[in-house]
Amino acid sequence: MAQIFCVANQKGGVGKTTTTVNLAAGLALQGQRVLMVDLDPQGNATMGSGVDKRTLKLSVYDVLLESASMADAITRSDKLIAAKCSYDILGANRELAGAEVEMVELERRERRLKAALAEVNGQYDFVLIDCPPSLSMLTLNGLCCAHGVIVPMQCEYFALEGLTDLVNTIKQVKANLNDDLKIIGLLRVMFDPRITLQQQVSDQLKAHFGDKVFDTVIPRNVRLAEAPSYGLPGVAFDPASKGAQAFVAFAQEMIRRIPTLQ
Task: Yes or no: say if 49 and 21 are a contact pair by the CB < 8 Å rule.
Answer: yes
Roughly how many angstroms between the first and final C-alpha of the chain, as a whole number? 12
Strands 183-191 and 148-153: parallel
Contact 71, 117 (CB under 8 A): no
Say how far residue 14 (Cα) sits from the centre of its chain. Answer: 12
Binding window for ligand ATP (CB under 6 A); candidates: 98-106, 107-115, 216-224, 249-257: 216-224
Site for ligand ATP in 127-156 (CB under 6 A): 133
Q: Does 193 bind ligand ATP (CB under 6 A)?
A: no
Q: Which does 221 bind (CB under 5 to 8 A by kind): Mg ion, ligand ATP, none?
A: ligand ATP
Q: Which stretch binds Mg ion (CB under 5 A): 17-25, 55-63, 187-195, 249-257?
A: 17-25
C-alpha span between 7 and 208 (Å, rounded): 20
Return d(Cα 5, Cα 259) in angstroms, integer: 15
Provide the 3-class DSSP secondary structure of residue 195: coil
CA–CA separation, 233 and 145 (whole Å):
25
44 binds ligand ATP (CB under 6 A): yes
- Residue type at position 98: G
User: 222 vs 258, which CB is nearer to ligand ATP?
Assistant: 222
Q: Identify what 225 binds: Mg ion, ligand ATP, none; CB under 5 to 8 Å per kind.
A: ligand ATP
Give yes or no for residue 18 binding ligand ATP (CB under 6 A). yes
Residues in 152-181 at the binding interface with ligand ATP, rule: CB under 6 A: none
Size of the site for ligand ATP (CB under 6 A): 20
Quote the CA–CA distance of 27 and 37 in Å, as a whole number.
Answer: 15
User: Residue 147 interacts with Mg ion (CB under 5 A)?
Assistant: no
Query: Residue numbers of the site for Mg ion (CB under 5 A)?
Result: 16-17, 44
Query: Residue numbers of the site for ligand ATP (CB under 6 A)?
Result: 12-18, 40, 42, 44, 133, 189-190, 218, 220-221, 224-225, 228, 243
